[in-house]
Chain A
Amino acid sequence: MNNDLINYTLHLADNSLILGQRNSEWCGHGPVLEQDIAITNISLDLIGQARNFYQYAALLRKDGSTEDSLAYLRTEREYKNCLLTEQPNGDWAQTILRQFFFSSYQYLLYQQLQTGEDKQLAAIAEKSLKEATYHLRWSSEWVIRLGDGTEESHDRMLKAADELWRYTGEMFIAADYEKKTGIDIAALKEPWQKRVKEIFNEATLPYPEKIFMQEGGKQGKHTEHLGYILSQLQYMQRAYPGCEW
């Protein structure tokens, strides 16, 4: 059980860290100053959540791990984040839609988690839920704004949906370590779809059709993108082990 809890905590941490790292790539490149600050703000929220989860996982492991060793010294196969979080930023539409799909999921997940059995995870979820609520609100409004915006922004949202939809199914399929957490992850699918339908409807975007869904991220089988993210994220610790500043 303890092993499951460790893996589950790492899975939660990895989701936040990888999406946070992805969003941080916008820093200094946002379409306008205000949105540059907004997306990096979200990035910092996510990395903050990841830290809390990593600290807890390190405590549970009792093997001298730290939040840093868990983030900087695990390999690609040891990372348990959902495939969606590691997908490239693409254009602003793709970044927005990735955030919307994931925040809708995280919002529902944290709601469940905050009433869960594990007190520490519940506390982190309760604190993080406020952030997820804002991310969901922010990204929902952007989906509507772009979907129901100009012809070009609408087309770009369609393209983004086409690109990302195949990575959304995995979120609701429980990995082995998720099965004993007391949270029925499959049950989040329906409210998630409802939310996406509502927002897509308002954004004048068609709800994506049923297609083959990719999976494997939760088990460490990733798309080719994660390796590149980690090589950038972990470069300093790999090149100069134990370096601090």
Chain B
Amino acid sequence: MNIQIRKLYYGDIPEDKTGGAIVSKDTKSDWPLWEVFIRSKQGLDHKHVGSLHAADAQMAIENARDVYTRRMEGVSIWVVESKHITASNPEEAGELYEPAVDKIYRHPTFYDLPDEVNHM
């Protein structure tokens, strides 16, 4: 599928302001973006560490192994294509998060704990 896209990277000046042409690009020729999650040791969670390009899931795992675990950072890798992640909209932060601010009774801070109980 041939579609018109405008490629912008960080710090780029939009082409229509510089007089450059809008590039026509075959979207299929670009490798998709993958998000990478690494578990640093057994028992811990997988943590998001970054993203990379790869043609398929297997290549994404291998790229992640080379890019993100070469200094012994991990024992397990997850990859997921970035397009499968749905993110919350920052503009909706008000209605999403602010209602929780004044509900301090949701924190378990109103119990008297015996001294013997540590790590609560």
Contacts and interface: CB of A to CB of B under 8 A. Distances in A.
B63 A141 contact: no
Most B-side CB within 10 Å, residue of A32, A34, A138 = A34
Interface residues of B, number: 13
Contacts of A145: 55-56, 59
B67 A37 contact: yes
Contacts of A141: 58-59, 62
A171 B59 CA distance: 29
B27 to A, nearest CB: 15
Interface size class of A (residues with CB under 8 A): 10 to 19
A130 B53 CA distance: 26
Interface string A32-44: 1111011001000
Interface of A: 32-35, 37-38, 41, 138, 141, 145
27 contacts: A32-B31, A32-B53, A33-B52, A33-B53, A34-B52, A34-B53, A34-B54, A34-B63, A34-B66, A34-B67, A35-B63, A37-B63, A37-B66, A37-B67, A37-B70, A38-B62, A38-B63, A38-B66, A41-B66, A41-B70, A138-B62, A141-B58, A141-B59, A141-B62, A145-B55, A145-B56, A145-B59
